[in-house]
Amino acid sequence: MNTLTDTRPKAHFTPPAGWLNDPNGLVFFEGEYHLFYQYHPDGLVWGPMHWGHAVSRDLVNWEHLDIALWPDDLGTCFSGCAVVDINNTSGLFPDKPGLVAIYTCHRDAPGFDRGYIEEQCIAYSHDNGRSWIKYAKNPVISTIGKSDFRDPKVFWHEASQHWVMSLAVSQEVHFYRSSNLLDWEFCSRFGEGHGAHTAHPWECPDLFQLQVEGTTEKRWVLVIGLGASEEAFGSFTQYFVGEFDGKNFINENPPETILLMDEGRDFYAAQSWSDAPEKQRLAIAWMSNWKYANQFPASSYRGSMSSARTLTLSQQRDGVRMKQQFSALTAPTNQLSSSVLINDTWCAETDTGARTGYAHLNLATGTSVELSFFDPASADLRVTLDESRYRFDILRASAQGEATFKGLFDHDYSCELPATGSLRLEWTTDQNSLEVLLGGGLMSITQLVTYSEAGAPLHIRRIEGECLLEEHAEALIA
Ligand code: FRU
C-alpha cells in the first residue's frame, strides 16, 4: 500500500486550510447551494468554532467565501441551519427575501451542568450570504439548564403555518415552533426509549417529509447523530420514520428498532438542504468520525464532506426505509456489451482517478467476491450471498498514521441486506474516500481510506462460487 499524501479530493468539499467538521446552514437560494461548516481556521484540530462558507451550482465544484460567523461574547458558533425568509416573517427583510442562519452559541461556564452553556442565536444576511449581521437580541432561545442543547434545524411547516425547530437536547430531540423565527415556543420532546442511545448526547437533528416511492403516501423522517462513545464504533447517524403534526413526532416503528443512515464509519452530522430545487431532499455529511477525526493524517487541512445524496423512501418488507442516491455526479458510461462470468479476477477498463459507477452482480448461493477500488492487492469490500441474504464485509487498514490513529481507524465489520435478485452496487471513489450504495441505495457505506491515489481500476475477484457481472459502468468525476 502507498503512503498518504495531502492531495485533495476532487469531488468532495474540503476547507481552504485548517479544520472542518459538520455541514451547517445548508440552503439553496437564487441558484446557489450554500454550504457552511464547522470551521477552525487556525488549527488542524477541533478548536473555537466559526462557520466557514462556500457556494456551488452543481454540488461538486465549490467556491470558497469569507468566514460567515465568528465567535463573540456569547461563545463560539456551533452547528445550525439556514432558511430563506421568503415572506419576511421576521421583519428583517423589508426590501427583498434574505437568509437567516440559526445556530448554537457555546461558551464555557464552570460549574454549570457539564461545564458549558449552549443557547440558540440567529444571524441574517441581505446579500446572499456574503455578509452576516448577528441579531441584536440573541440568544433567541436561552439555556434551559442543560449543557447539551444544540444544533437547531428549522423548516417552514406548511400545514401549521409555523417555523419548526428540531433541537438536540441531551439524548432527545426537542421541537419548538415560531411564527417569526425570533420568538420560540417549546412543543414536545422525542427520544427516550427510542432507537440507539450511547453515553454521548444526540446531535445534529434534521426533520423532513418524503414521499414513499411508487405511492401517494408520505412520511416524516427524523435524522439524528450519535457522538463517539466507547461502547459504539464511534459517531454514527440514525433515523426514525413516522408522523409529525407540527408539534409532535410519532415513531411508527417499534421503539427498539435502530435504523442507520450509513453503515460505514465516516458519515456524521448529516444535514439536508432547505429549499432545494424541485422539492428534492439533498443531504451531505461530514466524512469522519469523532473517534479519530483529530488524528486522521493531514498536513494543510483536515476534514471533508461526503458527496451529496438524494434521499427518498421505499416500502420494504419490514417497513418504510430510506434510500440514497448520489445526487450530482456525472452519469456513468463505458457500459459492458454483455455479461461477464468472473472466473478469477475481472478488471474494469476505466481510467483511474476520482470516479463514480455502478455494477449489477448476479451471485449464485454460496458465492463470495471481493472488490478493490484502489489497490488490486487489497480488497475494500467482500460480498457473500447465503440462502437469503447478502453479507458485506468491510476491511479497512491504514497505511500509516500514529499508533492511536491506527488503533481506532483500522477496522473490519459487516452488514447485511435481504437478497432479492441481482445486487446493485453504486460507488464514488476519491482521494481518501470510498462511498458505496448497496441494494439500490437501501444501504450506504461511507468511509475514509488512506491510499495515496484515487485508485486503480475496479477489480472484482472471485473467492468461491459463481458470479456473473451483468452490468458495469463508470465515469471519472473531475
Ligand atoms: C457534531 C457536533 C455538534 C456541535 C459541533 C461542534 O459533530 O458535536 O453537536 O454543534 O459538532 O463543532
The secondary structure of 83-99 as a DSSP string is: EE-TT-TTS--SSS--E
Identify the residue with better confidence: 231 or 305: 305
What's the CA-to-centroid distance between 104 and ligand 1, angstroms?
Answer: 10
Q: What Cα–Cα distance (Å) separates residue 287 from each residue in 42, 116, 181, 269, 302?
A: 20, 26, 30, 9, 11
Which of 48-57, 114-123, 282-291, 327-336 is the least confident region? 327-336
Query: Which residue do the cell numbers 444576511 mark?
Result: 125
pLDDT at residue number 6 = 52
| pLDDT given at position 366 | 96
Residue 2 above 60 pLDDT?
no
Ligand 1 atom with least separation from CA of 79: 10
Least confident of 9-18, 25-34, 401-410: 401-410
150, 173, 289, best to mutate for ligand 1 pocket (most atoms within 8 Å of CB): 150
Q: Give the mean model confidence (pLDDT) for residues 127-156.
A: 98
Per-residue pLDDT, averaged over 395-400, amounts to 77
Ligand 1 atom with the shortest distance to the CA of 46:
12
C-alpha cell at 291: 473517534
> Could you identify the atom of ligand 1 that is nearest to the CA of residue 78?
10
Span from the CA of 203 to the centroid of ligand 1 (angstroms): 7
> Which range is least confidently modeled, 111-125, 236-250, 273-287, 321-335?
321-335
Predicted confidence (pLDDT) at residue 4 exceeds the cutoff of 70: no
pLDDT band at 243; cut points 50, 70, 90: very high
Please name which of 2, 10, 20, 64 lies closest in space to residue 433, comparing C-alpha atoms: 10
Query: Can you give the pTM of this predicted structure?
Result: 0.96
Ligand 1 atom at minimal distance to the Cα of residue 286: 7
The Å distance, Cα 460 to ligand 1 centre, comes to 38
Q: Would you list the DSSP string of 174-230?
A: EEEEESSSSS-EEEEEE-TTSS---SSPEEEEEEEEEEBTTSS-EEEEEEEEE---T
Question: CB–CB of 208/222 below 8 Å?
Answer: no
pLDDT > 80? residue 330 = no
Lowest mean pLDDT among 164-173, 224-233, 245-254, 276-285: 224-233
CA of 123 to the centre of ligand 1 (A): 19
Strand arrangement of the beta sheet that strand 63-69 belongs to: 63-69, 50-56, 32-40, 18-29, 301-302
Q: Find the mean pLDDT for residues 63-81.
A: 98
Closest CA to 20 of 205, 261, 204, 268: 268
Does the pLDDT at position 388 exceed 50?
yes
**Residue 5 pLDDT > 50, yes or no?**
no
Query: Would you tell me how many other CB atoms lie within 10 Å of the CB of residue 298?
Result: 16
Can you give the pLDDT at residue 338? 86
From the CA of 249, how far away is ligand 1's center (Å)?
A: 23
DSSP letter (8 states) at residue 254: -
**Catalytic residue annotation:** 22
**Which residues does residue 250 pair with via DSSP β-bridges, in sequence order?**
243
Is the pLDDT at 123 greater than 90? The verdict is: yes
What pLDDT is attached to residue 3? 38
Cell numbers linked to 219: 412520511
pLDDT confidence tier of residue 206, bands split at 50, 70 and 90: very high
128-133, Cβ contacts within 8 angstroms, sequence gap of 24 or more: 128/29, 128/30, 128/32, 128/99, 129/29, 129/32, 129/34, 129/53, 129/55, 129/65, 129/68, 129/82, 129/99, 130/65, 130/66, 131/66, 132/68, 132/69, 132/101
Phi, psi (5° rounding) for residue 100? -120, 125
73-77, 387-391, 416-420: range with highest mean pLDDT: 73-77
Question: From the CA of 79, how far away is ligand 1's center (Å)?
Answer: 6
> Which residues, 6 or more positions from 318, have their beta carbon under 8 angstroms from its beta carbon?
none
Closest ligand 1 atom to 268 CA: 7
Question: 110: which residues sit within 8 A by CB, 6+ positions away?
Answer: none
Q: How confident is the model at residue 1 (pLDDT cuts 50, 70, 90)?
A: very low
Probe target for ligand 1 pocket from 204, 288, 294, with the most ligand atoms within 8 Å of CB: 204
pLDDT band at 434 (very low <50, low <70, confident <90, very high): very high
**Could you tell which of 81, 119, 203 is best to mutate to test the pocket of ligand 1, judged by most ligand atoms within 8 Å of the CB?**
203
CA 270–ligand 1 middle distance (angstroms): 11
- Average pLDDT of the chain, as a whole number: 93
Q: Per-residue pLDDT averaged across 269-281, rounded?
A: 96
Residue nearest to atom 8 of ligand 1 (CA): 203
Look at residue 39 and tell me whether its pLDDT is greater than 60: yes
- Mean pLDDT, residues 67-91: 98
Instruction: Give the pocket of ligand 1 (CB within 6 Å).
Output: 21-22, 38, 49, 78-79, 104, 150-151, 203-204, 225, 227, 269
Percentage of the chain beyond pLDDT 70 is 96
Question: How confident is the model over 312-319, as a mean pLDDT?
Answer: 96
Phi-psi region of 75 (alpha: psi -120 to 50; beta: other; left: phi over 0): left
Q: Which cell goes with 147?
A: 449543557
pLDDT at 401 over 80: no
Q: Report the distance separating Cα 126 and Cα 35, nearest Å.
A: 17
Indicate the pLDDT class of residue 423, thresholds 50, 70 and 90: very high
**For the chain, how are helix, strand and coil distributed in percent, rounded to 5?**
5, 50, 45
Nearest residue to 22 via CA among 289, 310, 296: 289
CB 166 within 8 A of CB 205: yes
Contact 149, 169 (CB under 8 A): yes
Which residue's alpha carbon is at the smallest distance from atom 9 of ligand 1? 203
3-class SS at 76?
A: strand
How distant, in Å, are the alpha carbons of 58, 273, 320 from that of 276? 12, 6, 23
Indicate whether 310 pLDDT > 90: yes
In this structure, which residue's CA is closest to atom 6 in ligand 1?
Answer: 78
* CA-148 nearest atom, ligand 1: 9
